């Protein structure tokens, strides 16, 4: 379990550790805060776009092979990011190579746990370990990143990732690889291209709102030197998002036709006919959207409005870290007493209260303690539902399609992370209000998203196989 948990930790750490070093990295690389935001978003977007193809490769190459290959690619990307002289190589190393590596090494983690532990309670324990490791990476990333940035350099954070990846590679020598499906499926190249392209354009559209606005174009939109949409016209973001939706619809049609023809689709279309799994995937997406969005907006607020340095920002986020750790540690006990859907509903409810407390208490001139109640409840809420959602989704699918559902699950979660960072960044850029009000507006939008997650969790069907327990 340790190398698997450490692999999940380092991938999540990579995204959150940059939040507290946004300003120093932007200064050193001669770019802007929103240039670094694009790096963070492209990292999670790359993971989201390639997680489904990466998961399918586990059935072809083997789980352990994909895990080790992902570690190697990730390590090269982290090393390039540590040595980068400018934004371009940072995008190649961090956004692309680390994203590709993560897409290969994360799916085997969840597949192995599901296959090796059929009992839901036992599986919840180990999903709790993995989710706790992921939550820990997201939570302590700002603290560790802040310490390294303040006392050494932000580049040391990437060198730390290289060392951890090497350590995991050594530990994987004892990792047992279960038998792969026979016969081995063929890789669906067209399906992989369609799924990746569709997800890419959807998130790209959200990113573009910072430049062009949500509804009315703030500047001319050109393609190949030709102005397609003039200032004052409909914002081009809907054109790009619409293109992504059309491509994703084409992807669904493709895998449906490929399955009917007796060929191996990238994912089985039947996965999307399971109501419990579908609603669980939506809650996963919204959880990570709120988590990454909240961490990003709070970190930028502390640095840009309150002028905190990296280590001060990391320390301010410590209550959320504690909340995630406490809730993740109690995952097994809570799974034994409550149904997964009840835990998801409770998690979203607590998260919503946490955001409300931040809006009510935290100000640009308020004391440090004004942030503690909201951040603590935010962390507890996220920690409770991370494990429950994963367990709900993975357990609702048969063993034969664990590779498929694992890839879809991780893709949806990373898509949520991408949308969270992109949405928050675009709202901050486009806000016409003073700085403090802009951050309050953005945090309020995340509160609405958390409420949508609560409503989604309420309509999740009850699992008839097990009685609900109080």
Same domain, 376 and 257: no
Domain that holds residue 204: 188-263
465: in domain = no
Same domain, 170 and 238: no
419's tokens: 């949308």
456's tokens: 């989604």
Q: Total structural domains in the chain?
A: 2
Least confident of 118-122, 208-212, 363-367, 430-434: 430-434
Cα 435 from Cα 304, distance rounded (Å): 9
What is the secondary structure of 207-221 as a DSSP string? Answer: HHHHHH-SSB-SS-E
Tens of pLDDT, residue by residue over 248-304, are: 999 989 988 888 888 878 877 777 788 888 888 899 889 989 988 888 888 888 877
- In 3D space, the residue among 409, 172, 178 whose CA is nearest the CA of residue 284 turns out to be 409
Whether 415 has a pLDDT exceeding 70, the answer reads yes
463: in domain = no
441: in domain = yes
Contact between 98 and 78 under an 8 Å Cβ cutoff? The reply is yes
Q: DSSP letter at 266?
A: S
**Direct distance between the N- and C-terminal alpha carbons of the chain, in angstroms, rounded to an integer:** 30
Same domain, 408 and 442: yes
Q: Which pLDDT band, with edges at 50, 70 and 90, does 405 fall under? A: confident
Q: Which among 235, 263, 291 is the end of a domain?
A: 263
Same domain, 176 and 310: yes
Same domain, 199 and 296: no
* Number of residues in the chain: 470
470: in domain = no
Same domain, 284 and 249: no
Same domain, 243 and 275: no
Tens of pLDDT, residue by residue over 216-240, are: 888 888 877 788 888 888 888 888 8
Q: Round the average pLDDT of the chain to a whole number and report it.
A: 82
467: in domain = no
Question: What's the 3-state SS for 439-453?
Answer: HHHHHHHHHHHHHHH
88: in domain = yes
82's tokens: 């540590």
Prediction pTM value: 0.76
Q: Which pLDDT band, with edges at 50, 70 and 90, does 167 fall under? A: very high
Same domain, 193 and 319: no
Per-residue confidence (pLDDT) for residue 120, from 0 to 100: 63
CA atoms within 13 A on the CB side of 186: 11
Per-residue confidence (pLDDT) for residue 333, from 0 to 100: 77
Per-residue confidence (pLDDT) for residue 468, from 0 to 100: 44
Whether 385 has a pLDDT exceeding 80, the answer reads yes
Same domain, 307 and 256: no
Same domain, 420 and 445: yes
Cα angle 295, 298, 303 (rounded to 5 degrees) comes to: 120
Per-residue confidence (pLDDT) for residue 467, from 0 to 100: 43
Q: Which among 263, 280, 309 is the end of a domain?
A: 263
Alpha helices in 29-97 (DSSP H): 33-61, 63-83, 87-90
Tens of pLDDT, residue by residue over 68-81, are: 999 999 999 999 99
336: in domain = yes
Per 3-state DSSP, what percentage of the chain is helix, strand, and coil (rounded to 5)?
80, 0, 20
Q: Which among 245, 263, 281 is the end of a domain?
A: 263
């Amino acid at each position: 379990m340790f190398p698997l948990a450490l692999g999940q930790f380092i991938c999540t750490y990579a995204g959150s550790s940059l939040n507290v070093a946004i300003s120093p990295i932007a200064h050193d690389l001669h770019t802007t805060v929103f240039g670094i935001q694009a790096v963070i978003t492209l990292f999670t977007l790359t993971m989201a776009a390639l997680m489904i193809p990466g998961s399918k490769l586990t059935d072809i190459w083997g789980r352990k092979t994909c895990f080790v290959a992902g570690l190697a690619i990730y390590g090269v990307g982290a090393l390039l990011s540590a040595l980068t002289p400018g934004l371009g190589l940072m995008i190649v190393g961090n956004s692309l190579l680390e994203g590709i590596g993560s897409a290969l090494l994360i799916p085997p983690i969840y597949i192995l746990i599901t296959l090796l532990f059929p009992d839901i309670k036992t599986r919840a324990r180990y999903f709790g370990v993995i989710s706790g490791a992921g939550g820990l990476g997201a939570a302590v990333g700002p603290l560790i990143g802040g310490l390294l940035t303040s006392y050494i350099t932000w580049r040391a954070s990437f060198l730390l990732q290289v060392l951890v990846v090497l350590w995991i590679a050594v530990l994987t020598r004892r990792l047992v690889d279960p038998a792969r499906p026979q016969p081995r499926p063929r890789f669906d190249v067209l399906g992989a291209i369609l799924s990746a392209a569709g997800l890419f354009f959807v998130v790209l559209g959200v990113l573009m709102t910072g430049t062009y606005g949500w509804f009315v174009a703030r500047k001319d939109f050109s393609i190949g030197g030709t102005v397609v949409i003039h200032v004052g016209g409909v914002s081009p973001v809907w054109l790009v998002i619409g293109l992504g939706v059309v491509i994703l619809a084409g992807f669904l049609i493709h895998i449906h036709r490929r399955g009917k023809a007796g060929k191996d689709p990238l994912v089985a279309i039947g996965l999307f006919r399971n109501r419990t799994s579908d609603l669980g995937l939506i809650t996963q997406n919204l959880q990570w959207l709120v988590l990454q969005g909240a961490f990003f907006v709070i970190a930028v607020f502390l640095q840009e409005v309150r002028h905190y340095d990296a280590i001060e920002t990391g320390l301010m986020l410590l209550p959320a870290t504690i909340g995630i750790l406490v809730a993740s540690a109690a995952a097994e006990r809570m799974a034994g007493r409550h149904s997964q859907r009840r835990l998801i509903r409770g998690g979203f409810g607590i998260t919503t209260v946490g955001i409300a407390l931040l809006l009510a208490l935290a100000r640009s001139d308020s004391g440090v303690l004004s942030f503690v109640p909201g951040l603590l409840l935010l962390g507890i809420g996220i920690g409770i539902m991370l494990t429950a959602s994963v367990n709900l989704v993975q357990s609702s699918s048969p063993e034969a399609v664990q590779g498929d559902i694992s890839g879809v699950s991780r893709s949806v979660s990373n898509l949520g992370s991408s949308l969270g960072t992109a949405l928050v960044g675009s709202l901050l850029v486009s806000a016409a209000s003073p700085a403090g009000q802009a951050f309050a507006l953005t945090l309020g939008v995340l509160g609405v998203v958390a409420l949508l997650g609560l409503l989604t969790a309420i309509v999740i069907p009850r699992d008839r196989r097990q009685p609900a327990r109080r």
